[in-house]
Structure 1
Amino acid sequence: MRKNTYIGIATIVLIFGIIVIPKIYKRIANDDVSRGGRMHQEGGEKINDAPDGLIYINQGGVDRKVPPFSFVNQDNDTITNADYKGKVYLVEFFFTRCTDICIPMSHNLIEISKRFEGRDDFGIASFSIDPEHDQPAVLKKYQEEYGVTNPNWNFMTGDRSVIRKLSNEGFYLATNEEGDESDLYHSGLFALIDQNGFIRSRLDPYGNAKPYYRGFVPMNENVPEGGETPEIDILIEDIQKLLK
């Protein structure tokens, strides 16, 4: 049974890579999302590290920030982007009925949360792309099933079109387009946000901005040649950089 589960997850990840990732990078390319003025590139070499070793994600000469949002969480409390001010936090889009990539995503977030347990300056924002089903009571049960104890980890629900806009236009983390109800899909990536609401990341080995982290690949996974490598360890490193 366990072997069949891993095969199923591998199949979903493959399909995800074929369908969703090209959408994300098309959005990024069309909107000129690149390294900010704090990083420059000549001949493929980085020449100026950002002060904390991380870059700002730049679009049209402006460092990208989290857009304003307001949703209801698992406790029926209204949560806005202002509640995360002064905190380093992660953003994901998920849904509770997901039986494939959401499972390793949630386990990865649990492990990350444990690393920063007790810190009031770290949080997680999980937005459901299935809000009609994922009402506060459902999200509360999901929180309890995963043993989430971080008070700054909010599972949020709201208007579907608003959540889709936040995902597709605010973060460029692809989800279903408006009117596409055939399946629920999402990117499986995590965004890292600093204390001032800016989206942060690092450069890839080629000197290009790497806006997101693979949240759907389990930690310490043995990856076959050509497979998707885990990125949770480097994400933890980058969270630590921002928290210093």
Structure 2
Amino acid sequence: MSNKFPLAKILILVTILAVPGFLYYLLQSKGENRYKPLPIFGPKEVAKTFTKKRGKKIPDTIFHVVKSFEATNQNGDKVLIDSIKKQLIVVNFFYSRSKDIVPQMYTNIKWLNKEFKDNKIVRFLSISVDPEFDNQSVLAQYAKQYDAVSGKWDFLSADTSVVYPLAKNQFFLNALEDKQNDGFIHSEKLVLLDAEHRIRGYYDATSAPEVKKMGDEMKILITEELRKIKAEF
């Protein structure tokens, strides 16, 4: 009986060991990870301008951009979304008197904030749908409860004539007063905006796995934004 290992088996073994490394090399592509970019949500329209790609003229797309709004944070400072430049923004709607959904949401948002607390490219905005009750004092206490630092994580209040249309027409989420049950109806979604204030994702803030997924996708978007900044120089 021959003790030689069959050539065919050797080739199979080499292939099994080599393929993962080869795929890793392809994905790295000279130090640049190839990843699937996050989608862009909201209405869009075809622009009159074109971009040339491989010799072909491709029409540019105009995507929905969240319009600017002004609100007051937990410190009494004015926050204007247009003043937030070159940062990703995590947005949610809430009201402090909620006893069920909102505390569950903020357990997960607090974790997400902690994950990115030292990353200057990430900003959090929590917008109250109950501004009559959620005054500066209430927001300050609420922010302290969740270790929120203004300028990084702002709890915001503005008139309902601003907030409700903002939620509906800009973020495509529900936000309204529930007079029958003496409460408010609002979405439990977290919304991820890129540096151009385009919507790049919706995530269920009551779900820890969903918020973990958001954290992973934020890292992808951070890479995308950093490459844009690098390309400017």
TM (norm. structure 1) is: 0.66
Q: Which residues in structure 2 correspond to 1:22-171 (within 5 Å)?
A: 53-61=37-45, 62-149=62-149, 151-171=151-171
The count of aligned residue pairs is 172
Contact 1:85-1:197 at 8 Å conserved across structures: no
1:216 is matched with 206
Is residue 2:219 matched to residue 1:233?
no
Contact 2:204 2:211 in 1 (8 A): yes
Question: Which residue in 1 is equivalent to 2:31?
Answer: none
Correspondences of 1:185-204 after superposition (within 5 Å):
185-201=185-201
- One-letter amino acid matched to 2:195: Q
How far is the alpha carbon of 1:181 from its aligned partner?
Answer: 2.9
Judge conservation of contact 2:203–2:211 (CA < 8 Å) in 1. Answer: yes
Q: Choose 79-88 or 51-60, whichever is displaced more.
A: 51-60
Structure 1's unaligned 5+ residue stretches are: 1-49, 202-211, 220-229
Cα shift at 1:77: 0.5
SS of structure 2 residue aligned to 1:184: strand
| Shift in alpha-carbon separation, 1:169–1:58, aligned structure 2, 3 A | closer
The structure with the largest strand share of the pair is: 2
Of Structure 1 and Structure 2, the greater helix share is in 2
Conserved in 2, the CA contact under 8 Å of 1:190 and 1:215?
A: yes
Alpha-carbon contact 2:74-2:155 (below 8 Å) kept: yes
Task: Summarize deviations over 1:22-44 as a string: whole Å, max 9, x none.
Answer: xxxxxxxxxxxxxxxxxxxxxxx
Aligned residue type for 1:158: A
Unpaired runs of 5+ residues, structure 2, are: 1-33, 46-61, 224-233
Which residue identity does 1:213 align to in structure 2?
A: Y
Structure-1 separation of matches of 2:101 and 2:76: 26
Q: Percent identity of the aligned residues? A: 28
The reply on whether 1:243 has 2:233 as its aligned counterpart is: no
State the distance in 1 between where 2:188 and 2:91 align. 11
Q: 1:149, CA displacement in angstroms?
A: 3.3
- Quick one: which amino acid aligns to residue 76 of structure 1? G
Partner Cα separation in structure 2 for residue 131 and residue 216 of structure 1: 22
Instruction: For residue 60 of structure 1, report the CA deviation from its aligned partner.
Output: 4.1
Instruction: Give the drift of 1:117.
Output: 1.6
Give yes or no for contact 1:191–1:213 (8 Å, CA) kept in 2. Answer: yes
The CA deviation string for residues 183-229 of structure 1, in whole angstroms up to 9 with x for no partner, is: 3111100110011111113xxxxxxxxxx111122x1xxxxxxxxxx
Corresponding letter in the other structure for 1:184: F
- Change in Cα spacing, 1:58 to 1:128, as seen in structure 2 (3 Å) is closer
